[in-house]
């Protein structure tokens, strides 16, 4: 029995991946990914890594919602995108949270010239840290951030394979 479990973990056929990595809010993910020219599987992977698709998730650092946005980041996104009545409670609304998170990811992709690893590192560790690492030519310096980037990239492959039709492939 253990051998079967190990085999399934390594090969992760789509049905097995769907058991371990559910996809919720697929329409919201697909719409906001497309609006921001982001791979929908990558957006789903970030959500899985950040909150496991729990819209009420809160971190010890004060990040909220599916994409774990801090209120200050979200307020800045709201202002940059024409919003004028941002409330912290907005971050538990899946549509608003994913809209803001997808916009922020697009901003990071643009800032780091489409370098996915740097954009994901900035999403996790902050733009100031990534900018410093780039200036110093040292690569990602936080183990947690390196692990996060690797995890999101692995999850993207899983979501693309397991949910191709729901994500619009």
Options 12, 35, 48, 50, the catalytic residue: 50
Question: Exposed e or buried b for every residue in 17-34, given b needs 16+ CB within 10 A?
Answer: bbeebebebbebbbbbbe
Sign of CA dihedral 9, 11, 15, 17: positive
Residues in a beta bridge with 64: 58, 69
Catalytic annotation on 136? no
Distance CA 130, CA 133 (A): 5
Catalytic residues: 50
């Amino acid at each position: 029995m253990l051998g079967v479990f190990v085999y399934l973990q390594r090969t992760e056929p789509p049905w097995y991946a769907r058991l371990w990595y559910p996809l919720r809010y697929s329409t919201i993910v697909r719409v906001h990914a497309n609006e921001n020219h982001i791979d929908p599987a990558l957006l789903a992977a970030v959500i899985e890594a950040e909150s496991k698709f729990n819209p009420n998730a809160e971190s010890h650092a004060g990040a909220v919602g599916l994409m774990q946005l801090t209120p200050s980041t979200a307020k800045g996104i709201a202002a940059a995108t024409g919003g004028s009545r941002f409330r912290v409670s907005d971050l538990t609304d899946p549509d608003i949270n994913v809209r803001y998170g997808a916009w922020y990811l697009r901003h990071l992709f643009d800032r780091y010239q489409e370098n996915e690893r740097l954009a994901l590192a900035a999403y996790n560790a902050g733009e100031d840290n990534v900018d410093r690492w780039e200036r110093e030519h040292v690569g990602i310096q936080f183990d947690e951030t390196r692990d996060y980037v690797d995890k999101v990239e692995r999850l993207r492959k899983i979501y693309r394979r397991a949910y191709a039709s729901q994500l619009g492939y």
